[in-house]
Amino acid sequence: MSRPERNLLLVVDDEVDFLELIEQIGEGVGCEVITADSATRFREQLATRHPALILLDLQMPGMDGIEALRYLARQGINASVLLASGMDQRVLASARQLGESLGLRMVGTLQKPVMLEDIEALLMKHLDPGARISADDLRRAIEEHELVVHYQPKVVRCDSDWQVRSAEALVRWRHPSLGLLYPGEFLALAEQSGLIASVTDFVMTDAIRQLGHWRQRGLELSVAVNLSPKLVQDLEFPDRLNRILREFDTAPEQLILEVTEGASLDDPDLVMDIFTRLRVRGIGLSLDDFGTGTSSLTQLYKMPFNEVKIDGSLVADLGTSKAAATVVRAIVELAHNLSLTTCAEGVETAAQFEFLDQAGCDALQGDFIAAAMPAAEMESFIQVWNGSDHASISAERP
């Protein structure tokens, strides 16, 4: 199951005027809008994109809306679904009920002809929780401990097997009325409002405290924490980090900082200074999301990274693109020639796992192994995973 793309709306309708109208309204409220005017186009769109919201017309020539709902359920599409139709409310309501019984997230119905304001309100409601949170909310959330850290296990090649040796700390916000919010929904706000240092200090403290807890339970792990580009250039950051490490009596070697490539570009001398000091102390530095837009090979040899994270978008293309496979193999080889280790993220299938194993990747992370989970669940996951044999991953999970 793939994660929905934030603010991506798919409109399925055979009336071109209606598609154009929704496109306009959607873009006005900050969505990316993609459309389908036929069953074929509907399936094509879903093969490559992961909408957060689908606005589906129940009656289309050549496609029965109910069959479309079944298709969404069969494919495990993880989007919110809004139904639209010119039929009466009762038909819409029973279609909605059917969608719910198929396990779909049915979020509403729209009776045609639709009111502009109704569509706008529905889109705002279902697409962008980020638009409804403010810096004050976030400040309060930090004070009232609404932020939580989930951990995603990372497996590392050990002889011919793969063992959990590490975890990536990923922040979430348990919002009292909006539910669990993901970093994509509030990190930009944290950066703009100057709260990112507090968020990171919280995540860092939680992760380092957690290391001590796991150590007491006999688990020797390392933990990776994401560092916002803003903080990479904060000269006080290394000192704050040292204080946290000392407070919890943790070896710097157990901490890896993940930074994205773009981060290192603004003031390369300053960043080099900070990175080198961190590395000298033994802290690991990982170049995150390698292979995406801002890639710069220069970063790889100029900055003192010791790990490269191959971006999930490259991993996702492995099965369908020979070129992606070639690029991934080349990254692994290049990294090894530079004495860097490689970690592939977003591993979702056995086939991807096997390919990356063959390609010589050193560490793997992704939903195929496990999605991010509360710290309390890590211990039993590690017991099960590390107690099984993964020398050759078959199509079945352990």
Nearer to ligand C2E, 8 or 110 (CB): 8
How far apart are alpha carbons 113 and 117 in whole angstroms?
12
Least distance CB 352 / Mg ion (angstroms)? 15
Nearer to ligand C2E, 60 or 169 (CB): 169
Give the one residue of 85, 226, 299, 341 binding Mg ion; rule: CB under 5 A: 226
Longest dimension (CA), the chain: 69
Residue 251 CA: distances (Å) to CA of 146, 200, 217, 241, 247: 28, 19, 17, 12, 11
Q: Is the dihedral of CA 200, 201, 205, 211 positive or negative?
A: positive
In three-state secondary structure terms, 172 is: strand
Residue 99 CA: distances (Å) to CA of 68, 280, 331: 10, 56, 43
Least distance CB 111 / ligand C2E (angstroms)? 35
The amino acid at 145:
H
Q: DSSP alpha helices (H): ranges in the chain?
A: 16-28, 39-48, 65-74, 89-101, 116-127, 135-143, 183-192, 196-216, 229-232, 237-247, 268-280, 297-302, 312-316, 322-337, 350-359, 375-386
Give the one residue of 13, 57, 348, 362 binding ligand C2E; rule: CB under 6 A: 348
Nearest to 306 by CA among 231, 255, 365: 255
Question: Which of the choices ligand C2E, Mg ion, none does residue 187 contact, using the CB cut-off of 5 to 8 A by kind?
Answer: ligand C2E
Phi first, then psi: what are they for 38, rounded to 5°? -155, 165
Q: How far is CA 168 from the centre of its chain?
A: 12
Nearer to Mg ion, 38 or 306 (CB): 306
Annotate each residue in 288-317 with x if it binds ligand C2E (CB under 6 A) or - if it does not, as one string. Answer: xx----------------------x-----
Least distance CB 289 / Mg ion (angstroms)? 4
Q: Tell the burial category of 313 from Cβ atoms under 10 Å away from its Cβ (0-12, 13-18, 19+).
A: middle
Question: Which of the choices ligand C2E, Mg ion, none does residue 372 contact, using the CB cut-off of 5 to 8 A by kind?
Answer: ligand C2E
Quick check: 307 binds Mg ion (CB under 5 A)? no
Nearer to ligand C2E, 111 or 313 (CB): 313
Task: Please identify, among the stretches 69-77, 208-216, 222-230, 240-248, the one whose residues bind ligand C2E according to the rule CB under 6 A.
Answer: 222-230
Q: Which two tokens stand for residue 236?
A: 């006080």
Question: Which of the choices ligand C2E, Mg ion, none does residue 37 contact, using the CB cut-off of 5 to 8 A by kind?
Answer: none
Residue pair 265/303 in contact by the 8 Å Cβ criterion: no
Residue with tokens 């280790």: 341
Nearer to ligand C2E, 65 or 346 (CB): 346
Least distance CB 360 / ligand C2E (angstroms)? 20
Task: Please identify, among the stretches 28-36, 126-134, 285-293, 374-382, the one whose residues bind Mg ion according to the rule CB under 5 A.
Answer: 285-293
Question: Which of the choices Mg ion, ligand C2E, none does residue 352 contact, using the CB cut-off of 5 to 8 A by kind?
Answer: none
Nearer to ligand C2E, 106 or 223 (CB): 223
Residue with tokens 């300053």: 270
Quick check: 289 binds Mg ion (CB under 5 A)? yes
Least distance CB 207 / ligand C2E (angstroms)? 9
The residues, ordered by sequence, that sit 6+ positions from 387 with a Cβ below 8 Å of its Cβ are: none
In three-state secondary structure terms, 285 is: strand
Quick check: 35 binds ligand C2E (CB under 6 A)? no
Size of the site for ligand C2E (CB under 6 A): 25
Nearer to ligand C2E, 84 or 370 (CB): 370
Quick check: 200 binds ligand C2E (CB under 6 A)? yes
Least distance CB 260 / Mg ion (angstroms)? 7
Nearer to ligand C2E, 7 or 152 (CB): 152
Give the one residue of 37, 185, 258, 357 binding Mg ion; rule: CB under 5 A: 258
- List contacts with Mg ion (CB under 5 A): 226, 258, 288-289, 345
